[in-house]
Structure 1
Amino acid sequence: MSVILSAATFLPPFSPSWILAALLFISAFFFLRRPPKRKIRIPSPPTLPLIGNLHQLGPLAHRSMRTLSAKHGPVMLLYFGPIPTVVVSSPAAAEDVMKTNDHAFSSRPDTSLADRLFYGARDIALSKYGEYWRRVRRICVVHLLSPKRVHSFRFVRAEEASRLVSTVRCACAASSPVNVTELISAFTCDVLCRVLFGKKGEGGGRAELSLHTHVVEAVGGSFPMRDFSPWLAWLDWLSGLDAKVKKASSDFDAFVEKILKSEHESDRIIFSDDHDARRTDMVDVLLSLRNDSSDSLSRESIKAVILDMFTAGTDTTNTTIDWAMAELIRHPKTMAKAQEEIRQIVGWKEEVGEETVQGMPYLKAVIKETLRLHPPAPILFPRESMEDARVLGYHVPKGTRMVVNAWAIGRDPASWEEAEEFRPERFLNSKSFDFKGLDFEFIPFGSGRRGCPGIDFAIVTTGLALATLLYHFDWELPEGVKEEEMDMTESPGFSLKRKSNLILVSKPMNH
C-alpha cells in the first residue's frame, strides 16, 4: 500500500487540460501512422485482352460512349487497346477538365495520323502543349483570325453568298431540286480558298482541295491499330489504311506546294495589318512572317496550318448549315419564324449584310440549337494530362488520355429540358449561352487553352449563309417526301455529318 501511495505522488494531476493534451497526442500519433487514403478508382466497363474496350465502340463512337456513361457514370475509364482513356460526359466533369485543370490537360497525345497527315503534328489542333504550340496559336489568333482580320474578309463572304443565290435561282428557273449539301460544300470551300489562297471558285482548285480534304477527314476518323499496339501495325497495312494515309498526305502536299511556288512565292507581298484584304490572303500573311524571329514558321508548319484551317473551317460551316436546314425543314413553324425575322429586318434589299445578321436573335438561337444537337466535332480532340489531376474527385494520373463527349453533354437531360428536341426558343428564354466555352453545358467548339480559335470566322460565315438562303427562298421537300421520313442518320467519321445529301425544292421570294 505504501508503495502504491509513493508512486502516486509522482503522477501528474488529472486536470481537464492534461487529459485534452493527451487525447490530442494519441490522435495525432494514430493519424500519422494511418495509411494514406486509397485513391478512388474510376468506373470502367470490363475489358478484353489486347483490344481493351474497342469492341464496345460502334461506328458512332459518341453514341456508344454515352450509352456506356449512362451505366458507369459521367467520368469513365476506357482502354483503347492498352491505352487508358478517361471519357467525361457531364458539364461538371468538362469544367474540371477544361477550366479547373485546364493547364494539366492542355497537351495532345502522340498519334500516327497527326504525324503523317499534319507534318509531324505541326498544326494548331494536334501539336503538343509547349512553346511551339503557343507560337502557332498566337500567329493564328493575332494575324489570321483576329476580329479585324475576320471582318476584313467580309467582301469574300458577301460575294460568295451572292453566287450562292445565283446558283439556287438557276435551279429554280429550271424547276430542278437543289442539293443543299453540295451547294453549301461548294460555298464554304470557295470562301476558304479565297481567304487562304486568294483564288476564286474553280480557279482556286476547289474541286481538288475539297477532294483532298474529304480524304483527310475520312482517314482522320479511323483508328490506326499501330497507335494502340505497335506490334499490330501490320493490320493497318493489311486494311489499306497505310496506303490511304500516304496518298492523302502526298496529294495534299503536292497541291499546296504548287500554290506556294507558282502563286505566292513568285510574287511576294509584304504584309501589314493595314494591307488591303482584297490583295492579301492568309498564305501571304504566313509567308511574310517567316522573317519575323518571334512569329516565323517553317515551310512544313505553314502547310500544316493551312490544312488545319481548311479542314476545320469547311467542316464547321458545312455540317452546321446542313443540319440547320434539315432541322428547319422538319419543323416548318420554326422555319417560318426564322424567315419572318430575317425578312422583317432585311426588308426589301437585294443582299443580306453581315451587320444585319448580328441583329437576328432567333436566327442565332437556331444556330445555337443546331450546334447543341449536332456539334461539328461530337468528341473533342483528345487531351493528355501533363500532371496528376482530379476530375469529380477521381484521380487521373499523368499521361492519361482525356476525351470530352460534347455531343452527350449537349443532350444531357439534367441540363436541358426535352434534350432530344429541336427547340431554338430555349436560347431565348434562358441564360445567354455563348460560343466561347464559358458555359459547359454548351461546348461545340471546346473551351480553355485548346478551344477552337476560329469561332468568330465560323459563326459569321454560318450566319450569313443561312440567313441568305432563308431570306431569298422558300424551301420544301420534294413531292411525296414527308418531314417524318427524312433521313437524319449520322455518318461515321471524325465530324458529325448527315449520311445522306439534303435535297430540297426552292421557290424564290417575290421582291
Structure 2
Amino acid sequence: MEFLANDQGMLLPLLLSCASIVFLFMFFTRVKPGSPPSPLRLPIIGHIHHMSKRPHRALQKLAQKYGPLMLVKVGPVPFYIVSSAKLAREISKSEDTSIPARPRLKAANVLFPGHRDLIFSPYGHFWRHARKICVNELLSLKRVLSFHHIREQEVAKMGEVLRCNKPSSPVNLGTMFVKLADTIVRKAVLGEKYGGDECSKLVGELARNAADLVSGPCLGDYFPMLSWFDTLTGHTAKAKRTSQGWNKFLDQVIDEHQARPGHAVARLDDAKDFVDILLQLQKEDTVGLELTRENIKSILVDMFVGSIDTSAAIMEWIMAELAKHPTIMKKVQEEIRRVVGDKKKIDEQDFQHMEYYQCVIKESLRLHGPSTMARQTSSATTLGGFDIPGDTTVFINLWAIQRDPMLWEKPLEFKPERFLNTSHGFKGQDDKYFPFGMGKRICPGSQFALSEVEYAIANLLCWFDWKLPEGVKPEDLDMHDTFALVTRKESPLYLVPSLHNAV
C-alpha cells in the first residue's frame, strides 16, 4: 500500500508535465484560421532550426511537405514563402494594390536614407519616376548598346591576359569575371576616368560591403528588441562606414563632373556616363521628379550593388556548367565559331544567329539565377486562398520555382535543348521562366547584365578551348552555391585555357 501511495504521489506531477508538453506543442504548432500551413516552430527562435546556410534550399525542402505557400517565422517576424510559379504570377498582378514594395531593412535605411533609391524605395510617386529614369534613360536598349566599346575593350584585355597565361596553368575565372564586371560598370556609370585599378579596390570593397549588408543576416530585422546586438557585432558600424564611404566617393565624382565646362550637356550622347545623364536630367527638370544629390548618389549605388555580383556570378556559372558538360561546351563552341567565321571579333548582331548559345545562357540562368524575390504587403490581402496580413514580407523562392518538376522535365539536369523552339524570354512575361523577376519590380538592369555576359562568354568560347585542371573530372566539379542577392558559386572555378588553333 505504501508503494501504491508513493506511485500515486508521482502520478500527478507526471500528468501535469505531459499536459504542459501537449499544451506547448499545440501552442507552437497552431495556425490561425485562414493562414497557410506552417512547420513546427520553437519558442523565441521560430523556424530558424529549419534553416541552413542555404535557406533557398531549406525552404524548397519545406515547401515539398507544406505546400507552395507556407508561413515561416524567423524569431517573431513572419514570412510567407511562395514556391510556385502560379502564386508568383498572382503576386505580380497585385503589385499595384497590396504587394508592391520591398521589405524595410536596417542596413538599407543606413545606406539609402529615406529609401530614396530604386531598389528599396516604397511603391509610389518617387519609385515610379525613378524607375522611369532607369528604364528610359540609364538602362534602355539604346543606352546599353552605346556602351559596346567598353565591353569590347575590357573583354579584349581579359583575352590578352589569358593568352599570356602559363600553358596548362589553371585560371581563377571567378576572380577574373568580378574584375571584368566591376570595370565595365565603373566606366559606364562613372566614366572612363574611373576605370583604372586605382579606383577598383575602393569601389569593389564598397559594392561588396553594400551587397553583403542588404542580403546578409541582421539580428534587428528579425528580433527588433535585440537591435542593440547589431552594434556589438559591428553590423551597424559597417553599414555606417559603407554609407560614409559611398557618400565621400560619389560626392567627389559628382563635383568633378560638374566642374567640367558645360559638363553633361556639352558631351556627345554616346559618350555620356550615368552621372552625366542624371546631372542633365537634374538640370533640365523634365522627369516629374526633383532629383537631389542624395537621390543621384543612391541611384548610382543601386547600379553597383545590383550589377557587379550578378554579372560575374552568371558568367562563372555558365562556364562551370559547360566544364561539367564538355559535350555541350563543344557543341556551343562549334556554333559560335561557325557564325563568327574568319572575323577576329564577334559583332553583337551575331548573337541572333547563335540559337544554341542563347539556350545555354537561359538554362544557366534557370538553374543559377537570383535565388529569391522579396515583397512587402501594404495592406491585408489574400494569396492562393489564404490570408496575408498587411506590413508583412512575402518571399518568392525563384530558385525552387525554376526547379519545379511540375514545370520542367528533369529539372536538375543541365539541358539547354529545353529552350529550343520556345518563346521563353528574359522579360518576366513567361508563365514559368522569369530569372530576373516579374512585374513592375523586375530587374531594370537585366539587359545591361545580359549584354555583358553574352559578349564576354561568347568571345572566351570562341578564342579558347577549356578544360578542368589535371586530376579533376567533370562529375567531381563542385557546384555548391551560396545564398546572397544572387546565388554565387561557393568555391572558385578554375579552368585551363588553351588558344584555339583557328584564332
Please name the residue that 1:417 is paired with: 409
d(CA) in 1 for partners of 2:205, 2:473 = 32
Please name the residue that 2:108 is paired with: 114
Q: 2:323 aligned with 1:314, yes or no?
A: no
- What amino acid is aligned across from residue 494 of structure 1 in structure 2? L
* Deviation by residue 1:81-125 (Cα, 9 ceiling, x = unmatched): 222221100111111111255542111222111111233322211
Q: How far is 1:492 from its partner?
A: 3.8
* Deviation by residue 1:395-416 (Cα, 9 ceiling, x = unmatched): 2232221110000000001100
d(CA) in 2 for partners of 1:247, 1:110 = 20
Please name the residue that 1:481 is paired with: 472
Q: How far is 1:359 from its partner?
A: 2.1
- Unmatched runs of 5 consecutive residues or more in structure 2: 1-31
Q: 2:430 aligned with 1:439, yes or no?
A: yes
Q: How far is 1:228 from its partner?
A: 2.4
Please name the residue that 1:143 is paired with: 137
Please name the residue that 1:6 is paired with: none
Q: How far is 1:270 from its partner?
A: 5.3
Please name the residue that 1:195 is paired with: 188
* Deviation by residue 1:100-153 (Cα, 9 ceiling, x = unmatched): 555421112221111112333222111110101111111111110111111111
Specify which of 237, 243, 253 is matched with residue 249 of structure 1: 243
Q: CA 1:90 to 1:102, structure 2 compared with 1: closer, same or farther past 3 Å? A: farther
Specify which of 311, 325, 329 is matched with residue 335 of structure 1: 329
Pairing of 1:12-411 with structure 2 (within 5 A) = 40-100=34-94, 103-172=97-166, 176-199=169-192, 201-202=195-196, 205-261=199-255, 263-267=256-260, 269=262, 271=264, 275-278=268-271, 280-293=272-285, 294-375=288-369, 377-380=370-373, 382-411=374-403
Moved over 4 A (4+): 268-274
Q: CA 1:297 to 1:83, structure 2 compared with 1: closer, same or farther past 3 Å? A: same
* Deviation by residue 1:198-257 (Cα, 9 ceiling, x = unmatched): 126325712221122122222222222222233201221222222222222222222222
SS of residue matched to 1:252: helix
* Deviation by residue 1:320-345 (Cα, 9 ceiling, x = unmatched): 11000000000000000110110000
- What amino acid is aligned across from residue 182 of structure 1 in structure 2? T
Q: CA 1:372 to 1:510, structure 2 compared with 1: closer, same or farther past 3 Å? A: same
Q: CA 1:436 to 1:331, structure 2 compared with 1: closer, same or farther past 3 Å? A: same
Q: CA 1:463 to 1:273, structure 2 compared with 1: closer, same or farther past 3 Å? A: farther
Which shifted more, 197-206 or 62-71? 197-206
SS of residue matched to 2:71: strand
Q: How far is 1:267 from its partner?
A: 1.1
d(CA) in 2 for partners of 1:342, 1:179 = 23
d(CA) in 2 for partners of 1:243, 1:55 = 28
Q: 2:455 aligned with 1:464, yes or no?
A: yes
d(CA) in 2 for partners of 1:268, 1:64 = 56
Aligned pair count? 468
- What amino acid is aligned across from residue 403 of structure 1 in structure 2? F
- What amino acid is aligned across from residue 469 of structure 1 in structure 2? L
d(CA) in 2 for partners of 1:196, 1:407 = 30
Please name the residue that 1:30 is paired with: none
d(CA) in 2 for partners of 1:461, 1:269 = 31
Q: CA 1:299 to 1:59, structure 2 compared with 1: closer, same or farther past 3 Å? A: same
Q: CA 1:425 to 1:259, structure 2 compared with 1: closer, same or farther past 3 Å? A: same
d(CA) in 2 for partners of 1:487, 1:217 = 24
- What amino acid is aligned across from residue 459 of structure 1 in structure 2? L
TM-score by length of 2: 0.89
d(CA) in 1 for partners of 2:161, 2:447 = 26
* Deviation by residue 1:393-450 (Cα, 9 ceiling, x = unmatched): 2222322211100000000011001100111000015x31011111142121110011
Does the 8 Å CA contact 2:102/2:121 hold for their aligned counterparts? yes
Q: CA 1:273 to 1:434, structure 2 compared with 1: closer, same or farther past 3 Å? A: farther
d(CA) in 1 for partners of 2:264, 2:243 = 29
Please name the residue that 1:24 is paired with: none
* Deviation by residue 1:2-43 (Cα, 9 ceiling, x = unmatched): xxxxxxxxxxxxxxxxxxxxxxxxxxxxxxxxxxxx963211
SS of residue matched to 1:264: helix
- What amino acid is aligned across from residue 230 of structure 1 in structure 2? P
- What amino acid is aligned across from residue 197 of structure 1 in structure 2? L
- Unmatched runs of 5 consecutive residues or more in structure 1: 1-37
- What amino acid is aligned across from residue 183 of structure 1 in structure 2? M
SS of residue matched to 1:77: strand
Does the 8 Å CA contact 2:257/2:264 hold for their aligned counterparts? no
Q: CA 1:482 to 1:273, structure 2 compared with 1: closer, same or farther past 3 Å? A: farther
Does the 8 Å CA contact 1:193/1:204 hold for their aligned counterparts? no
- What amino acid is aligned across from residue 472 of structure 1 in structure 2? W
d(CA) in 1 for partners of 2:251, 2:151 = 26
d(CA) in 1 for partners of 2:91, 2:51 = 22
SS of residue matched to 2:387: strand
